[in-house]
């Protein structure tokens, strides 16, 4: 739903910008300012919609999907890595002593 709203707000902002430019050419400055203000509101709504868009960062695999692994170890700090999609993740760095 947020993706659809983001596209709607983006295209509305574009249409309002074009309308504002037309009003500027016709020297209708009050209408042009109103269109630019509405465009700004539309762009803000676009940004908010994008912030709430699920970008699909969850990954699943079929192998081992229902397996449960119990481990014992010591936390050594944090481990930060970059995914192939370019996202940065930080997880606990654990030195495993035993896995069941």
Tell me what pLDDT residue 62 has. 59
* pLDDT score recorded for residue 74: 84
pLDDT band at residue 31, thresholds of 50, 70 and 90?
confident
Helix (H, G, I), strand (E, B) or coil at 55: coil
Q: What is the pTM of this model?
A: 0.42
The residue behind tokens 């539309």 is 42
Q: What is the pLDDT of residue 52?
A: 67
Q: From residue 42, give the alpha-carbon distance in Å to each of 1, 31, 58.
A: 17, 16, 29
What confidence tens digit (pLDDT) does each residue in 61-81 have?
A: 555 566 777 778 888 888 888
Q: What does the domain layout of the chain look like in residue ranges?
A: 2-51, 69-100
């Amino acid at each position: 739903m947020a993706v659809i709203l983001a596209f709607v707000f983006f295209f509305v902002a574009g249409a309002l910008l074009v309308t504002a430019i037309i009003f500027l050419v016709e020297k209708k400055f009050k209408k042009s300012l109103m269109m630019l203000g509405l465009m700004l509101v539309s762009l803000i709504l676009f940004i908010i919609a994008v912030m709430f868009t699920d970008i699909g960062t969850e990954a699943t695999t079929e192998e081992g999907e229902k397996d449960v692994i119990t481990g014992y170890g010591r936390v050594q700090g944090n481990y930060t890595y970059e995914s192939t999609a370019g996202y940065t993740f930080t997880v606990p760095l654990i030195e495993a002593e035993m896995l069941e």
